[in-house]
Structure 1
Amino acid sequence: MPVRPRRSFALAAAVATAAALGATALATTTASAAEVPLSGYELTWGIKQSYRTYVSTYAQGGFTATDGASQAANNGVFTFTDGTGTYDTTTHALHLTFKGTVTAKSTLHGFVREMSDFQYDSAAGTLTADLVSDGGTKQQDVTLAKVAAPTSQDLTDLGTTLTAAAGTFLGSDSYANAAGDPLSAVKPASTASPTPTPTPTPTASPSQSASPSATPTQSATPSATVSSSPSASPSDTVSEPATKGDIADGKLTWGVKESFRSYVVGSVAKGKISATGGATQAAGNGVFTFTGATGSYDTDADTLTAAFDGAVNFKGHEDNGTYGLDLTFTDLKATLDGGSGTLTADVTSLGEKSEDVVLADLKAGSADLTAKDDVITLDDVTTTLTAAGAKAFGGFYQSGAELDPLDLSVALTADATLPTDGSSSTAGTGSSGGTGSTGGSDNSGTTGSTSGGVTGSTTGDVSGALASTGSEVPAVALGTAAAVTAAAGAGVVFAMRRRRTQQA
């Protein structure tokens, strides 16, 4: 077996295995004698909670677990069984291979993704699997996730980071380098029968005999040591749920862009805005609130991933029942790591859907994630338009443009109380006209109105000039129109000409 790079692990495996080997094993100096066989382990990992939610809801699909694998109730995590492998007493490296196959199938999108032969290598800090996508050729031993080194005496709730290969396989580059679900590799107490290792000798040192591995009734394996070791401090058990875990609920408040909302319902587009599926819009053509958060958090690592329910649709430029502007955002996800992150969404423009578009870069006021009364709250998170976001709006918003700030709060427990908004929410349909009037008489340049003062040239530099006034027109979102601007006093006039061919 190839020698793996040495890494320091605070595992009880070192003590447990040394006690199990006894004097006879320690006297053996060959490389093979340093590797203790292990069996009966289980691997628990959910890939990523938001991915499971996506498959079961938006993709109208589900998961099947076979060949020794199982899935927890309510679209929960997966467990792979019959883990076998070795523990190296010299390098303290643990390598386990598990049985079980998990297949994700989508009725809506038609994909089939199969994962099997999961292997965990503590020295390399990796989780690999064999992958088959849509019945194609099997890819063997693909690294799906990087696994954090254990910092305590067990192999439970280890942090994982999805790889670029995982993003490709799961169908979205947004998963690359994103936090995955925590991983556990343990030997259940119900199967804690002796493994093929020598029986502990009566001459074990006091420190070894204090370990459960030194008692004949318990398994001399790393996980069994931790699961029943009296050395595990009560504070570790109590504090862990408070620092990382699954999000119980939450909401995200974001207005996309105030000037865009004004334009949609103004006298040019003469359109409407609707919020559905768990999203609402505040009164007076206000901001949107998306609810039903799912995801995970780790306040020690200052990481958070949250997906939200709800959809927002913008319609405008109606012509005999057909809209030139028909843009929808769904499946919003916010990811933060050390105060920075991204906001992604599924974007549908004139019936053409693009999934997991990174709309904006996020920057919180602080890198620290702190929970108060089991709620993490982030206010006024800066959102900056990305290149992909600019493309979603047809390039009429430049990459780097500032969008509306974002507020986010997530509950860490089911009984935690989320903060209430100061503004009341209404059914999310904006009225035609009113809030986005053009050519207003006061010419005050009020933010969000399409009648702002023009501060830059409108000839040639469409993006820059429109960004100054808040009167941007997204070409791709409009689909059937091309935007041309001209300065007319202090107002902005949009001349629209119908395209002869459809364009996504």
Structure 2
Amino acid sequence: MPVRPRRSFALAAAVATAAALGATALATTTASAAEVPLSGYELTWGIKQSYRTYVSTYAQGTFTATDGASQAANNGVFTFTDGTGTYDTTSHALHLTFKGTLTAKSTLHGFVREMSDFQYDSAAGTLTADLVSDGGTKQQDVTLAKVAAPTSQDLKDLGTTLTAAAGTFLGSDSYANAAGDPLSALKPASTTSPSPTPSATPTQSATPSATPTQSATPSATSSSSPSASPSDTVSEPATKGDIADGRLTWGVKESFRSYVVGSVAKGKISTSGGATQAAGNGVFTFTGATGNYDTDADTLTAAFDGAVNFKGHEDNGTYGLDLTFTDLKATLDGGTGKLTADVTSLGEKSEDVVLADLKAVSTEVTAKDDVITLDDVTTTLTAAGAKAFGGFYQSGAELDPLDLSVALTADATLPTDGASSTTGTGSSGTSGGTGGTGGTDNSGTTGSTSGGVTGSTTGDVSGALASTGSEVPVAALGTAAAVTAAAGAGVVFAMRRRRTQA
């Protein structure tokens, strides 16, 4: 076996080796014992928690562990046994091969994935396995994950990064370069102290303590290798923790924004408390994210500062429409979740209202450069959200998509966002056209495409809001007296009867 490049490596294996060979053997065969045999190791690795969840939940599939492999309870991680291999006393590199076969199968999604012959190589920093997809030809020694270099005196909880080959085999390119579950390669009886046997033989325990001269040497002579390898680990964000900052961009519903500032509501939209609105009656951006994340579990909870207020249908300073969203919070677990907010309508506040169901493009929550970014998250109005809009929009209606990005460290740079880069505070409340005012011949005139109606001086209506397809959210407007100032009670209630989905 060729000598692998020198790198810092925990000497748990060396100590175990001493137990296997004995101090005398080590002393008498120094020249020929560059590689010594190892046995009795176990590999523990869960691939990726979200993948296990996908197989067992969404795909309604199963994992079957055989030939020496096992799976922990509650769809937990996998263990492969009878690890044998060699430890190089010169380079301190370790190579182990494990027994056990793991099969992931889903009849619903039509796949069978078989993995066996797992091998861990500390010098290469890889975990390989033989792979079979759907009963096809076996691919041997495929690199499933890059493994972080050990930094302590055991091989426990080493970071892993799935490869492109793993993504292809598991059935989703989103797994490529994603953080996998941590990996451990240990002797079951020596988890905390890797040398229980040598401790029974003082002479042996003295010899390994001399061998650690090698452990001291690598830390000096091969310091470049460990600092390079851990730098990969350090550059990757922690798998879970608190959010340092972030922003959420969401337009609520484009047709609703158009209605508020249009010729019927003749209202205005304003933002405050850290929220902004993009120019041209655009989308809103909420800032100052707090919360937590777990990229192994693919979960994210983020709350944002800022408020947006919609006002319309004014009558002597009183608004028939006065709706405020604040304290927005997005939660995601495996690509689905909820958007909640505190909702104040006509002075009455309801906290933590679930406005929308969320569905991300990917089930993964992954970080790049210490930032988690989720774009084009689908938002679907809930029953509680429909109530917040006064029952005008139906539960299940599609709202504007949502984008969010959160920083995991204080010095991480959030991506440029068009809405948040604007300095304005939103629309000042334009009337949106002259529609609905009626002509002197009582025949009415056609309003503008930003929200006009074909109206008359009698309040009769022959059409809904132009071009946007939106409707007047009558039930959210308050009393009919307030509404009459905008377009007449007849206009509002006639339009309510003529609802068409925005």
TM-score by length of 2: 0.47
Q: Once the 2 structures are TM-superposed, how far is the Cα of residue 39 of structure 1 from its aligned partner? A: 0.9
User: Following TM superposition, by how much is the alpha carbon of 1:34 offset from its aligned partner in structure 2, in angstroms?
Assistant: 1.7
Q: Distance in 2 between matches of 1:4 and 1:352?
A: 70
Further displaced range: 374-383 or 73-82: 374-383
Q: Distance in 2 between matches of 1:396 and 1:196?
A: 71
Moved more, 383-392 or 317-326: 317-326
Q: Measure, in 1, the Cα distance between the counterparts of 2:462 and 2:137.
A: 46
> Percent identity of the aligned residues?
95
Cα distance in 1 between the residues matched to 2:55 and 2:363: 31
1:327–1:350 CA contact under 8 A, matched in 2: yes
Change (3 A) 1:491 1:85: farther
Q: CA deviation at 1:323?
A: 36
**Can you give the 5+ residue segments of structure 1 that lack an aligned partner in the other structure?**
none
Aligned residues: 499
Structure 2 regions of 5+ residues with no counterpart? none
In 1, distance between residues paired with 2:406 and 2:86?
A: 41
Whole-Å separation in 2 of the counterparts to 1:381 and 1:443: 47
| Partners of 2:474 and 2:359 in 1: CA distance | 27
Task: Measure how far apart 1:2 and its partner are.
Answer: 2.1
Q: Is the 8 A contact 2:179 2:296 kept in 1?
A: no
Give 1:487 deviation, angstroms. Answer: 25
Q: Which moved more, 1:225-234 or 1:77-86?
A: 225-234
Counterparts in 2 of 1:186 and 1:420: CA distance versus 1, 3 Å: farther
Change (3 A) 1:67 1:5: same
| Aligned residue number for residue 396 of structure 1 | 392
**Distance in 2 between residues matched to 1:331 and 1:87, nearest whole Å:** 56
Determine if contact 1:439/1:451 at 8 Å carries over to the other structure: no
- Is contact 2:313–2:485 with CA below 8 Å preserved after alignment? no
Separation (CA, whole Å) in 1 of partners of 2:279 and 2:190: 57
- Partner of residue 98, structure 1: 98
Q: CA–CA distance in 1 between the matches of 2:346 and 2:113?
A: 29
Question: Which range moves more in the overlay, 353-362 or 210-219?
Answer: 353-362
> CA, structure 1 residues 26+40, in 2 after alignment: closer, same or farther (shift >3 Å)?
closer
Q: Post-superposition shift, 1:11? A: 3.6
Q: Which moved more, 1:16-25 or 1:163-172?
A: 16-25
C-alpha distance in 1 between matches for 2:435 and 2:418: 23
> Contact 2:46/2:77 (CA < 8 Å) preserved in 1?
yes
Contact 1:343 1:360 in 2 (8 A): yes
- More displaced stretch, 258-267 vs 379-388: 379-388
Q: For the structure 1 residues 30 and 418, does the alpha-carbon distance in structure 2 shift closer, same or farther, using more than 3 Å as the test?
A: closer
CA distance in 2, matches of 1:281, 1:403: 17
Stretch deviating more after TM superposition (254-263 or 136-145): 254-263
The range that moved more, 160-169 or 491-500, is: 491-500
Q: Distance in 1 between matches of 2:318 and 2:101?
A: 47
Native 8 Å contact 1:272 1:429 kept in 2? no
Q: CA deviation at 1:51?
A: 0.5
Asked if 2 retains the 8 angstrom alpha-carbon contact of 1:454 and 1:468, the reply is no
C-alpha change, 1:424 and 1:411, in structure 2 (3 Å) is: closer
SS of match in other structure, 1:297: strand
CA contact (8 A) 1:267 1:437 kept: yes
Offset of residue 150 of structure 1:
1.1
Whole-Å Cα distance in 2 between the matches of residues 440 and 117 of structure 1? 83
1:251-272 CA deviation, whole Å, 9 max, x = no partner? 9997798679999999999999
Shift of 1:153: 1.4
Q: What secondary structure is seen at the aligned counterpart in 2 of 1:467? A: coil
Answer yes or no: is the 8 Å Cα contact 1:22–1:200 preserved in 2.
no
Give the 3 Å change call, closer, same or farther, for CA 317–50 of structure 1 in structure 2: farther
Q: 2:467 — aligned with what?
A: 468
CA contact (8 A) 2:321 2:346 kept: yes
Give the structure with higher Rg (CA): 2
What residue is the counterpart of 2:35 in the other structure? 35
Q: Which residue is 1:306 aligned to?
A: 302
CA shift for structure 1 position 13: 3.7
Give the 3 Å change call, closer, same or farther, for CA 399–474 of structure 1 in structure 2.
same
CA distance in 2, matches of 1:463, 1:86: 85
Report the equivalent of 2:362: 366
Deviates more, 1:343-352 or 1:360-369: 343-352
Shift of 1:4: 1.8
**TM-score, structure 1 length as denominator?**
0.47
User: Is the CA contact 2:250–2:400 (under 8 Å) kept in the aligned structure 1?
Assistant: yes
Alignment check: 8 A CA contact 1:475 1:481 kept: no
Q: Distance in 1 between matches of 2:149 and 2:266?
A: 57
CA distance in 1, matches of 2:172, 2:318: 32
